[in-house]
C-alpha cells in the first residue's frame, strides 16, 4: 500500500481484522488485495465504504458473519454456507469479496444450484422487464411509445394467459374451441357417423370450420404482435399450431379438386392421415395448463437422461433378445418355441417384459428361458429406475419455475382487476 501505516485494519460490519501490508498484497480475496494498489483516498473509497486515515482502518458495510465464514475459507481452504442464512445472500457476499461458486464445498454447491434454479425465472423476468423498459424509452424518443405499449399489451394477452383478465377470457375461449374440435374429430370416426343424416354432418362440418377459423385468426394475430418473427416461427408450440391447422386447409383443397364423392376422397390414405394430424390440437392445451408446460420443459432439459434411458433399453434388448432366441429356439430347431424364431421377435418379448407390461402373447416355455425372463424383468426395473431420479428432480424444478412465473402474473392480474 502506497500510503498509511504498516498495519491495516479491515472492519466488516463492526468486526475488525488486522493485517500487515505484505498480507494485504497477496490476500486471497480480490477486493481486499486491491487495497494494496490504491494510491489515493478516492481510489480506496472505490473499493470500501469508508476509510479512517488516522487508524488506517477500512470499513466495509457487509455481513460480518458471512465474512467470518469466508475468512475460515482463507485459513482452512473450505467454504460452506452460514447456517440460517439465505444461500443467495451468502453468494452475493462471495461475489462481493471476489469468490465464485466453485470455491464452495460440493454439498453447498448443490444447495446453491437448487436455489438458483428455483429463482431463475424471477431473475430472467426482471431482466426482460428492464429490456422492455429500455426499449419503450427508446421508442418514446421517436414518438412511438403508445404503439409499443399497445403491441406489448396485445402480445401479453395472446401469449400469457394469466397476464390479464382479457387474456384469461381469451384462453378460456380457446380451450373451449379445442375441446369442441376434439369431440367432433373423435365423433367423425364412429360407425354411425357415415349413416347420419346429411344435415347433421353438415352442422358438424360448420362447427369444425368455425374452430379452425378461430385457431387461424389466433395464430395470425400472435404472429403480427410478436417481437421477433423468426423466433415466433421457431417456437415448438407455434409449430404445433401450424401442424394442427394446415391439414384442414389441405384436405379442403383436395376435396374441392377431387370431388366430395370421389374414390380418392373415400379411400385416400393421404386425406385420412391429414385428418388424424388434427389430433395435435390437444397439444394446444399446453399453452394454458401448467402441467403440460412442465412436462414439455422437463423433456427438453432431460434429453440426455432420456437418451441414456433409451441406450439402456437398446443394450438390454440386444443381450436378452439374443439369449432368449438361443434358449427357446436356437438349441432345438425342430421343437423349439416358434414365437422366438428370430431375434427381432425375441426383442419384442424383452421390451414388454422389461417394462413389466406382459401382454401374454409370447412367453418362454423352457426352464432356462424362464430364468432368463426373471432376470430380464428385474434388470428392466433397475435400468428404468436409474435415470428416473434425475428426471423427477428436473420435473420438480421446472414445476416450481413455471408456478413462480404464474404467481407473478397472477399478482399483476389482481392489481389490474382491482384497478
Answer for the pair 341, 319: CB distance below 8 angstroms, yes or no: no
**Shared domain check, 40 and 74:** yes
**pTM for this prediction:** 0.51
Residue 37 within any structural domain of the chain: yes
Residue 46 within any structural domain of the chain: yes
Question: Which residue, 241, 269, 288, sits at the end of a domain?
Answer: 288
**Shared domain check, 278 and 300:** no
To the nearest 10°, report the CA torsion of 386, 389, 391, 392.
Answer: 150
CATH of the domain at 53: 3.30.710.10
**Shared domain check, 303 and 280:** no
- pLDDT truncated to tens, each residue of the chain (419 aa)? 454 567 888 899 888 888 888 888 888 888 888 888 888 888 888 889 888 888 888 899 988 899 989 988 888 888 888 888 888 888 888 888 888 887 888 788 778 777 776 555 444 444 444 445 544 554 455 445 556 677 777 777 777 776 777 877 888 888 888 888 888 777 777 777 666 656 666 777 788 788 888 888 888 888 888 877 888 888 877 887 787 788 778 777 777 776 554 444 444 566 667 667 767 777 777 777 777 778 888 888 888 888 888 898 899 999 999 999 888 887 776 677 888 888 888 999 999 999 888 888 888 888 888 999 999 999 999 988 888 888 888 888 888 777 766 665 555 544 444 44
**Shared domain check, 387 and 310:** yes
DSSP, collapsed to helix, strand or coil, labels residue 36 as helix
Question: Which residue, 250, 269, 288, sits at the end of a domain?
Answer: 288
Residue 349 within any structural domain of the chain: yes
**Shared domain check, 276 and 165:** yes
**Shared domain check, 327 and 278:** no
Question: Which residue, 254, 288, 322, sits at the end of a domain?
Answer: 288
User: What pLDDT score does 138 carry?
Assistant: 47
Residue 305 within any structural domain of the chain: yes
**Shared domain check, 300 and 284:** no
Q: What is the per-residue DSSP string for 49-88?
A: SEEETTTTEEEE-S-HHHHHHHHHHHHHS-B-PPTTS-HH
Residue 21 within any structural domain of the chain: yes
**Shared domain check, 304 and 373:** yes
CATH of the domain at 243: 1.20.120.350
Domain range holding 14?
A: 7-114
Residue 244 within any structural domain of the chain: yes
**Shared domain check, 268 and 169:** yes
**Shared domain check, 342 and 252:** no
Answer for the pair 79, 70: CB distance below 8 angstroms, yes or no: yes
The structural domain count of the chain equals 3
The C-alpha atoms of residue 346 and residue 373 are separated, in whole angstroms, by 11
The C-alpha atoms of residue 33 and residue 45 are separated, in whole angstroms, by 14
Interstrand relation of 7-12 and 57-60 (parallel, antiparallel or unpaired): parallel
335, HSE (Cβ side, Cα atoms, 13 Å): 2
Residue 154 within any structural domain of the chain: no
**Shared domain check, 18 and 35:** yes
Residue 185 within any structural domain of the chain: yes
**Cell numbers placing 67:** 465474512
**Shared domain check, 358 and 271:** no
Amino acid at each position: 500500500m502506497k500510503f498509511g501505516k504498516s498495519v491495516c485494519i479491515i472492519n466488516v460490519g463492526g468486526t475488525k481484522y488486522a493485517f500487515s501490508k505484505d498480507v494485504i498484497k497477496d490476500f486471497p480475496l480480490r477486493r481486499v488485495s486491491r487495497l494494496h494498489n490504491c494510491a489515493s483516498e478516492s481510489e480506496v473509497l472505490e473499493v470500501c465504504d469508508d476509510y479512517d486515515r488516522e487508524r488506517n482502518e477500512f470499513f466495509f458495510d457487509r455481513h460480518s458473519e458471512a465474512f467470518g465464514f469466508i475468512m475460515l475459507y482463507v485459513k482452512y481452504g473450505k467454504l460452506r454456507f452460514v447456517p440460517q442464512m439465505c444461500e443467495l445472500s451468502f453468494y452475493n457476499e462471495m461475489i462481493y469479496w471476489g469468490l465464485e461458486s466453485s470455491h464452495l464445498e460440493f454439498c453447498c454447491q448443490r444447495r446453491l444450484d437448487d436455489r438458483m434454479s428455483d429463482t431463475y425465472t424471477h431473475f430472467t423476468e426482471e431482466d426482460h422487464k428492464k429490456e422492455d423498459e429500455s426499449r419503450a424509452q427508446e421508442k418514446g424518443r421517436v414518438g412511438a411509445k403508445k404503439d409499443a405499449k399497445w403491441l406489448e399489451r396485445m402480445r401479453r394477452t395472446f401469449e400469457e394467459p394469466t397476464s390479464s383478465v382479457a387474456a384469461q377470457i381469451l384462453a378460456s375461449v380457446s380451450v373451449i374451441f379445442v375441446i369442441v374440435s376434439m369431440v367432433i374429430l373423435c365423433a367423425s370416426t364412429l360407425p354411425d357417423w357415415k349413416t347420419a343424416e346429411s344435415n347433421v354432418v353438415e352442422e358438424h362440418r360448420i362447427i369444425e370450420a368455425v374452430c379452425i377459423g378461430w385457431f387461424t385468426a389466433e395464430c395470425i394475430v400472435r404472429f403480427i404482435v410478436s417481437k421477433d418473427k423468426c423466433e415466433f416461427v421457431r417456437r415448438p408450440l407455434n409449430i404445433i399450431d401450424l401442424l394442427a391447422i394446415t391439414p384442414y386447409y389441405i384436405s379442403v383443397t383436395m376435396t374441392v379438386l377431387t370431388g366430395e364423392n370421389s374414390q380418392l376422397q373415400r379411400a385416400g390414405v393421404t386425406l385420412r392421415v391429414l385428418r388424424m394430424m388434427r389430433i395435435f390440437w390437444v397439444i394446444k392445451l399446453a399453452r394454458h395448463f401448467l402441467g403440460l408446460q412442465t412436462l414439455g420443459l422437463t423433456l427438453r432439459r432431460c434429453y440426455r437422461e432420456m437418451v441414456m434411458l433409451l441406450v439402456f433399453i437398446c443394450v438390454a434388448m440386444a443381450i436378452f433378445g439374443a439369449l432368449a432366441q438361443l434358449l427357446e429356439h436356437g438349441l432345438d430347431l425342430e421343437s423349439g418355441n416358434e414365437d422366438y424364431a428370430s431375434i427381432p421377435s425375441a426383442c419384442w418379448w424383452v421390451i414388454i417384459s422389461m417394462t413389466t407390461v406382459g401382454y401374454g402373447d409370447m412367453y418362454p416355455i423352457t426352464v432356462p428361458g424362464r430364468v432368463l425372463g426373471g432376470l430380464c424383468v428385474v434388470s428392466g426395473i433397475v435400468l428404468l429406475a436409474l435415470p428416473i431420479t434425475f428426471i423427477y428432480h428436473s420435473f420438480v424444478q421446472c414445476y416450481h419455475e413455471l408456478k413462480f412465473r404464474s404467481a407473478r402474473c397472477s399478482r399483476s392480474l389482481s392489481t389490474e382487476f382491482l384497478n
